[in-house]
Structure formats: C-alpha cells, structure tokens
Amino acid sequence: MILRCFSGFVFCSILLSAAVSLSGAEKAEKQAEKSTSNLQIPLQKVSLEKPELPVFRKPDAVKTNIAPSQKPSEQKVSKKAPAEPNSIPQENGEIYHSKNSNAPDAKVKSDLDDDSVEGEGIALSKEAVDIPEVKVPNAGDPKKDLLEEFTPQAALLEMCTDMINGMNTRRVSSLYEQWRRYNRSILNQSAGNITGNELNGRCRLNWYKELYSNPIPSVLEVESYSRFTFQNFCGSTAHVLKAVQDIRAKMDMAPSQKEIVIPAVHSPQEAVAYIAKALEETLEYYKKAIEPLSEAEINTLAVENNIIFCSQFIHGHTLSNTGRAKYLVDLMNKMNRSCIYDGVETLMPILDASVLEQLAKIRPGMFETIEINGEKVQKVSTAAGDILIGGRENNRWEPDTIPNLACIIDLGGDDIYVEGVCNPSRPVLAMIDLGTGNDQYTGTKPGIQGGSNLGISLLYNEGGRNTYQARYNSQGATMGGAGILIGGSGNDTYNCFVRGQGSALCGLGLLLERSGNDDYRSALLAQGLGNPGGYGILVDIAGDDHYYVGGYYPDSYEEHPGYDGWGQGLGAGIRRVACGGIGILLDGSGDDTYEYDYFAHGGGYWMGVGIARDFSGNDKRLGATLSAYSGGRRSEARWQRFSNGFGCHYAVGYLFDDAGNDSYNGTIMGLGMGWDLGAGFLVDFDGDDSYEATGGLTQGVGAEGSIGALLDYRGNDTYYGRAQGIASGRLTYHQAYNCGSNFSFVIDHGGKDTYGSGAQNNSLSQRGTAAGFIIDRPTKQELAEEEAARLAAEKENPDQIQKIEAARPVESNVYNVSSGVNEASAFKRPNSAPQQNQRGWGAFNRRGF
C-alpha cells in the first residue's frame, strides 16, 4: 500500500456567525500489515507533497505518473456518429418510449408548525426574526493576492463577500438565516429511514449536510476541494491514492488502517509477484466487506441490482418499485463498505509506473505457458485466481469463458475484449493492456470494462485509439463495490447506455482519462454520477473532448418536450428511496463540448452534491442535445431543464470554469439556479463568456425558497435575455414565515459586460424583491491599473488629471452604487424566452420533479 499522508486542505469560508474553517488534517501513520507473498517485494515509503497544478495550454503539457505513456497524439479526428438505432441496447426486444403519465408529485409536505421544530431547528414565529448582520471573516488580503497573482479562492472570496454585504445592506440577512434554520429543521425531521414522508435519512452524507447548511461558504470549500482533487489525479500513484482517501472521508467511510507504500520492483518476476499479492489482499478485503450479508442476500443483490437500478431505471428521479429499491440499498449499506475502499487502495498500486515498466519487459517463457482458445499465453496462479499474460500480437480475450481468472496482462497489439464481468462470481478483476494498440472492448453484460456489481474491478489501457461499447453499469461504474477505468493517451470512444463512465451507487465509480480527444456518450446516469451512497467521478486531464448524456428516454414533464439526461457531475438521490451521493466531472485542458438533457452538468438533486469543473479551453455547453442518442434525428423537440450549477429539492450543485471564452446554454431553470430549498452556483473565473439560456428561472435565480448564484470574474461577458438575478416573492411549496425568501445573485467583477436586462456596468440593481441582485464592479486589479494610469498621467501632465478622474470607473459596492436598470421592465417577457414564460413561473409544473 502507498504511504498515507494527508495534506490539510485550507478552505476559506464565509461563515454567517463564525470565522474561517479549516478542512482536513494530517492523520497518524498506521502500521503496515505483514506481506502474504512468498516472494518478498521491497517497498519504499513515499512522502506525499502537493503536486503542481498543470498549466493547461497544450495536451502534451500535462503528464501524470500513474503509468508511463507516450505523449498524446496531436492528430485531430472528427467524432464518429454513434451506432444506428438498430444497435441500441434493447430490453426484451423493445425500449420504453412513452412519457411517464404517472410521474410523482414533487411537492414535499414538510412545512413545519411553529412548535414542531426540535434540535437545531428553532421554532419560527410568523414575524420576522431579528438576527444580527452577517459578519465576513478576515481571510487574508484578496487585493494583495489578486495584484500579485490571480487565485480562484481570492476571486471567489470577493464575490461571496458581495453576496453577504448585499444581504446586509438590503436588510435581508435575517431572512437568509431564517432560511438556514428552516432547512436544518427539515434535515432533523427527516433523519430517519422511516419518516412518513418522501424524504428520509437513508444514505445521507455528512459533507452534504455541511455544504447545505452553509451554502455561501460552501462554494469556497467546493472550489478548493475540486481543485486539489484534480491535482491529485494528475499526480503520481501516491497522489491518486490520496484522492481516494479523501473520497472515503467524504463518503463517511472509516479511514484506512494500513500504511500506504509504493512498490519498488526491479524485475518482471517481482512485478508479477506484487500483483499476485495485491489481488490476494484485495480479495480478503472483499470477503470482509460482504461478511455481514447472507448468501441469499448476496444472490439477491447480484440479480436484482441490474434489474431495479439499470433496466427498469428509465427516469432519473425515481423508480416504479421504490420499496424493493429501498431494500436493496439497505442491503448494500449493511456491508462493511469501508473494506471496499481498503481493497481499492490495495489494488491500485499495481498501476504504479515502476510496476508497469517491469511488466513491459516480460518475454515469452518467463512463466508457465498454456493455450487458451487457440492462443499461447503465460500463466501465474494465485490464491485469488490466475494471472494470464498475453503477447504483443493481436489477441482476443473472452474473460467469461476462462475459469478462475483474476487478472489479464496484455503486452500490446490491437486487441479485442469481449465481456468480462466483475460480480460475486468473480469479485476481483484486474485488466492491464500495455502498448499503444487500437483496442476494442465490447459486451452487453452489466459490470464490464472497469465496472462491477458487488465487486472490485480495475481496467487500465496504456494508449492507442480505443473503443468501449457497453450496456449497463460499465466503464468505471459500480453498484455496491468499486469500478475503476484508467486510460492513457489516445483518442478514445466511450459508449455506455445506462449507468456508466464514472457512475456509482453505494460504492466508488471512477473513470480517469489522461489525454486525447475523447468522446463520451450515454443515455442516462453517467459521466460523474453519484446515486445514493455513491461517489461517481470522471476526470479527463487533457484534450478536446465531447460529452453527451441524454437523447433517449423521454422526460417526465408532460407539458414540455425533451429527454432525461442525469449526468456530467450530478449527485442525485432517488425520490422516495434515499438521499443523493456525490457526482463529479473534472476536465483539464482543451476546447470541450458538453451536450446534455434534463438534470445535468454540475447539479444536485434530492439531497445530493454535484460538481462540474473545466479548467481551461473555449468550452461549449449545449442543452439540449443536438441529436438523439442513436445519432439520428431527435423525436423530441430540443428543450432542456436544470443544468449548469443547480440545486433541486434540498440539494447543492456547483459548476466552475477557470479560463476560456465559454458559452452556457439550456432552456429553463439553470445557470446558477436553486429550486425547492436548493442551492445552485455557476462560477466562471476568466474569459469573454456568453450566458445564452433565456427561459424562466435562469442566470442566478432562486425559486421556491432557494438560492441561485451566477458569479463571473474578469472578461467581457454577455448575458442574454432579461432573467438575470430575479428574486420573486412567490412561494408555493413552503411558507415565507418559515423559509424566509428566494435569494438570487448575478455578480460580475471586471470587464465590459452586456446585460439583456439593461443593467449597467459598475452598478447595483435590485431585481424583484430586495433579495434579488445584479452587482457589477471592476476588479481590484482593474482599479489598481486605473490608479497607476492616473498617477502616471499626473506625473506626466498634471493638467490632464481631471479628465482621467472623470473617466475612471467608480469602485462599486453595495454602499455606493445606484440602480442601473428600469425595474418596471425587469419582468417583461424576454424576446428570446419561451412564449409561455412571463416571469419564469410558467417554466415548471407544480410537481416540479
């Protein structure tokens, strides 16, 4: 195992009644367990230092040491269209096409009586609660940081400070605190597994509760967490394991009891022996994980997970058989799930560069030679199963036809892999493909291609132009275990119909791609999706990538067209079953295109946490998808709802973009939007950006007792339509005397911006109620440049200083700005908005899934 050394994360938090909180701490080193291998492998401890964040300019400028690889190809290829409809995965010969006319009522009857709040939830009277103004802690000198070197944390702290000061000045901070108290009371009342309500406490995460209870400082914490997580996945094997350790903490798993060490191998024999030892130890951890389950319960999960959570999961928000789904989730929670993470930490070091370097030196005859399906391979037997080693020629692997298989090592060639499931019949499976061949992975069974159902699966492919075609729960996905897929260089194509590409339910799902122009395609529940008890993450370090989720299952909203999507950094609970998990999508460099349908791209649903972040490039976010999942013409009109930093139904969602001239699109309810006691944030740190979704409840809007914020730092930005920052006084799901208000923010620092609402640069606009804001101001850097120009002009020609002073923009804050918009026109129908939306309130139905 790899040395356990946690670097403390320091998160600057704007607490409403406290000071900055520190996240993370160094944990004590644990004693290493004795080796179970007959061949003693020398191990070296590694001191873990924070890796440098890559500079995202060229694809080949980003390197990671998780395995050696060639530089990414600079050849650009056009994205191929997906398979025609006749190759779409079928369920019993046909696919469900109709709308769900029995979609459940979304309104949760949880408005509280005055005397019903216990614990932290204080009973609220119908009169306004007198709460002191919010205090902003001293978190360093942001001006100094920004003048010396731009940092996302300092920029974000500035904009969050504007949110706090704005509420204090408008005297709505007491309503915000009232909102927080009401939310805490709902968390308290719904903490049990049986509540008599749609909400329950099943799979509820402590990190979710922390973020949800303090939404404004939470955006600072999530920014830091997503940045450091990406750094770790760009680093060495030790850093990747550090990211896994942080993940298990976020998932409320017990910390590892083993010291993490890096293997130091010096020959192919030692490398294979190390892999054998790791497989055996991982199998022991798996046995400990499932020990609380009976054989009948294990068989139930092995069969019914695929039915309930895959083939019958045709709408992202809930299931037809919620009772059975609860039972299956409870069975998976009954496991010792921390042992699954112990198994992951044990198995992943077999991909260390030192191990793969020695594996590449394997020659014929080093180990026992046998014949499998007419091909000669080498074999090493272990207590966990056989390790098979293929040569450098083009091989065809059919793992499910090989008994007692635990690991495949292929040394090169254009190979074909057919199926290869990981489930209780083969609970531990590792597949390593070296070289830069163009490999094909294909199959229809659930739990293939780095996927698992109640197992621990690991797939690594060194490079080449590879294609992955799967149906359910595959390509770095899991239900009740761990599924990991790691790709090297090359332009790869991933297609998984439902639940794939970094998707997890009660476990860990990871897809890590190092470089290349990659194409990801799925119909539902994919690309960084965290369902109950799950942490699903997709990390793509470099390349011009294309992400697509949706285009197949019609959505549940009868009044609007469109498809369900559910992915791309989405933490989603299952309504009436359990709370959401954590879903994350992180992309490094490249000009990327994101296509998505309903509920996608940096969002949270039903007490979930969703995070999406793109660190560089001119990115396009397209909602809805341009074509159907099959690649043909859409049968549904293009219409999209909930995207780009949203929190829906007691959830939190975050979207960050660090650099590039980006565009953000959708139809309604997105771009920093909160719905039904949710909180959604869209944060763009730099670039000339275009905010193009102009339907109802878009661009920094909170509704039904929620917070929505669109925060943009630097760049000449364009905001289309007139919906920016509107806070309505209308509440139908909850009472105002309980939840306080709706809170809406559009905050833009720097640049010359254009607002469709008519808001002016360097001004403060009230949008709707007093809790609706557009705050536009110059950055501190711009003010410093103006000051320097003034001083230089004064020195050069004192007579001209008066002209410069007249042209200098006023530093706008909530104390000295004036309104720059005719408020009477703020609610007029935007020319580009859907015709049925007047104030954004025709944008949803009362069920509001």
- Alpha-carbon torsion (517, 518, 523, 528), positive or negative: negative
pLDDT reported for residue 794: 80
- Please report which helix (H) or strand (E) contains residue 381, including its range: strand 375-382
Q: What is the DSSP letter of 691?
A: E
| Strands 396-397 vs 385-390: parallel, antiparallel or unpaired | unpaired
Q: Is the pLDDT of residue 109 over 70?
A: no
pLDDT digits (tens, 9 = 90+) for 760-779: 999 999 999 999 999 999 99
> Would you say 689 and 663 are in contact if contact means Cβ atoms under 8 Å apart?
yes
pTM to 2 decimal places: 0.82
Instruction: Find the mean pLDDT for residues 198-217.
Output: 97
Instruction: Find the mean pLDDT for residues 511-537.
Output: 98
Q: Which of 765, 760, 807, 763 is nearest to 786 (CA)?
A: 807
pLDDT band per the 50, 70, 90 thresholds, residue 802: low
pLDDT reported for residue 185: 96
What's the chain's average pLDDT? 82
pLDDT reported for residue 90: 29
Helix orientation angle between 215-234 and 206-213, rounded to the nearest 10 degrees: 130
pLDDT reported for residue 93: 25
pLDDT digits (tens, 9 = 90+) for 120-153: 221 222 222 222 233 333 333 433 433 446 799 9
Nearest-Å Rg of the Cα atoms of the chain is: 27
pLDDT band per the 50, 70, 90 thresholds, residue 842: very low
pLDDT band per the 50, 70, 90 thresholds, residue 713: very high
Percent of the chain residues past pLDDT 90, beyond the cut: 71
DSSP-based helix, strand, coil % in the chain, nearest 5? 25, 25, 50
Q: What is the DSSP letter of 246?
A: H
Q: Which of 478, 489, 472 is nearest to 455 (CA)?
A: 478
Residue length of the chain: 849
pLDDT reported for residue 61: 33
Alpha-carbon span 64 to 214, nearest angstrom: 35
Q: Is the pLDDT of residue 16 over 90?
A: no
Give the HSE-up count for residue 223: Cα atoms under 13 Å, Cβ half-sphere.
Answer: 26
- Please report which helix (H) or strand (E) contains residue 346, including its range: helix 338-347
Only one residue has tokens 């009522």, namely 105
> Would you say 602 and 644 are in contact if contact means Cβ atoms under 8 Å apart?
yes
Region for 832 from its dihedrals, namely left if φ exceeds 0, alpha if ψ lies in -120 to 50, beta otherwise = alpha
Residues 6+ apart with CB under 8 A from 378: 362, 364, 365, 366, 367, 368, 369, 370, 388, 389
pLDDT reported for residue 263: 83
pLDDT reported for residue 403: 95
Alpha-carbon span 486 to 497, nearest angstrom: 19
Only one residue has tokens 């929670």, namely 333
Q: Is the pLDDT of residue 486 over 60?
A: yes
The more confident residue out of 192 and 40 is 192
Percent of the chain residues past pLDDT 70, beyond the cut: 76
Instruction: Find the mean pLDDT for residues 176-195.
Output: 95
pLDDT reported for residue 72: 27
Alpha-carbon span 283 to 771, nearest angstrom: 55
Alpha-carbon span 55 to 615, nearest angstrom: 9
Only one residue has tokens 């930490």, namely 345
Q: How far, rounded to the nearest angstrom, does the alpha carbon of residue 57 sit from its chain's CA centroid? A: 23
Q: Is the pLDDT of residue 830 over 50?
A: no
pLDDT reported for residue 834: 29
Instruction: Specify which residues 691 forms β-bridges with.
Output: 664, 719
Q: Is the pLDDT of residue 115 over 80?
A: no
Residues 6+ apart with CB under 8 A from 777: 162, 748, 749, 762, 811, 812, 813, 817
Alpha-carbon span 476 to 422, nearest angstrom: 12
By mean pLDDT, which of 19-23, 411-415, 575-579 is the weakest? 19-23
Q: Which of 581, 479, 481, 583 is nearest to 532 (CA)?
A: 581
Residues 6+ apart with CB under 8 A from 113: none
pLDDT reported for residue 100: 33
Give the HSE-up count for residue 585: Cα atoms under 13 Å, Cβ half-sphere.
Answer: 37
> Would you say 429 and 420 are in contact if contact means Cβ atoms under 8 Å apart?
yes
List strands edge to edge, sheet with 477-479: 451-453, 477-479, 503-505, 529-530, 570-572, 603-605, 646-648, 673-675, 701-703
pLDDT reported for residue 698: 98
